[in-house]
Amino acid sequence: MMPSRKSIAALGRLIGCALLLAAAPRVHAERFLLGYDEAPTLAQALEQVAAQPDRHVLVYADMSRRCPSCEAVRAILNSETVREQWRRHYVVVSLDLWAPGPAERELIRDLNLSWAPVLVFLDGKGRRVTYARELSGADQARLLDEFVSRRLYALAGAARLRGQHFDAAAARMASESRFLSEQRASGEAWQVTRIDDRPRLSQVLARQPVRPGRADLIASLSGRVMYKENQQWFLDLDLEANGTLRAKGRRKDGLVGMQGNGKWYVTKKGKLCIELTAGGVDENWCRHVFKVGEGYYVSKDLRPNRVVYRFVLGER
């Protein structure tokens, strides 16, 4: 039996809707923060804040894969106590550094972001007032919110913090009114230094990491895939039990990939060593290893302000 004109028209409408849905731009693969007021673009967020001048924009950079520290910060921000405090004060723009869309990629480039998690706070004119690489807990979240929402960054005594990485100790002084005797706006130039979003060893040590011994480290790594991140690359390192490795990766800007071979070993003192030079990737180092939950961090030395790099392990 031939289909009726009515059924053909209905089928056409169904197909048309499906095509429209398929062509619709992806806003975010997943929502990181729940119960917050979110905007799909920075322009829309700034427009909302312009109409509500008591609020700020929070650009929240996370990763939808392979980021245990992101999960820790997400848990803090999604806790009932912190969410109730924060959501009144911010319009959130979320960025997925693992799988950014075209609009997200442009904002990531404009803010010079390459790591996650990082929280960037902007005023209604789009000026950065402060940023944070991580949150250690609800207490730091409270101090950070007070620093931004009460505009303590604009007070003369706190002017040196404006636009910089969040200093919890100095912000605590501000929140306790030690700066409040200076009620004039600072005349200093607005800070425009680049965001330094790289994690530090002090952040790792604050989470009470485990230092795996040589035998444990070799057993954990042998026959596994190390999903490692550096400032420019996401890398998959397939670690053979004989000490060789096969690598593949992609740049964080999505412009190029790589493949290559190298080797790995653990020194008698328990340092992990990787030797890999291929396809624009230079990973030749021996590092201290720290384990936090399911994630690992490597550090050149034990200075608290040392930049660290992270990896997680997976099956082949």
Over range 78-83, report the average pLDDT: 96
State which H helix or E strand residue 48 sits in: helix 42-51
Q: For the segment 121-158, what is each residue's pLDDT rounded down to a tens digit?
A: 999 999 999 999 989 899 999 999 999 999 988 875 55
pLDDT at 190 over 80: no
Are 188 and 292 contacting, i.e. CB atoms less than 8 angstroms apart? no
Residues 2-11: what's their mean pLDDT? 43
Asked whether the predicted pLDDT for residue 183 surpasses 80, the reply is: no
d(CA 95, CA 109): 11
Tokens of 119: 């929280």
Q: What is the pTM of this model?
A: 0.83
Report pLDDT digits (tens) over 95-122. Answer: 999 999 888 999 999 999 999 999 999 9
pLDDT of residue 12 exceeding 60: no
How many CA atoms lie within 13 Å of 237's alpha carbon, on the beta-carbon side? 32
Q: Which two tokens stand for residue 1?
A: 């039996």
Can you tell me the mean pLDDT for 280-299?
96
**Alpha-carbon separation of residue 84 from 36, 95, 136, 145 (angstroms):** 9, 22, 18, 11
Instruction: Please state, rounded to an integer, the average pLDDT across all residues of the chain.
Output: 85
**Can you list the domains of the chain with their CATH numbers?**
37-197 (3.40.30.10), 204-314 (2.40.128.640)
> What is the side-by-side strand order in the sheet with 90-96?
37-38, 90-96, 56-62, 118-122, 128-132
Give me the helices (H) in 87-137, please: 102-111
d(CA 77, CA 299): 27
Q: What is the spatial distance between Cα 191 and Cα 162, in angstroms, rounded to a whole number?
A: 6
Count of other CB atoms within 10 angstroms of residue 185:
11
pLDDT score for 165 = 81
- Phi/psi for 198 (5° steps) reads -70, 135
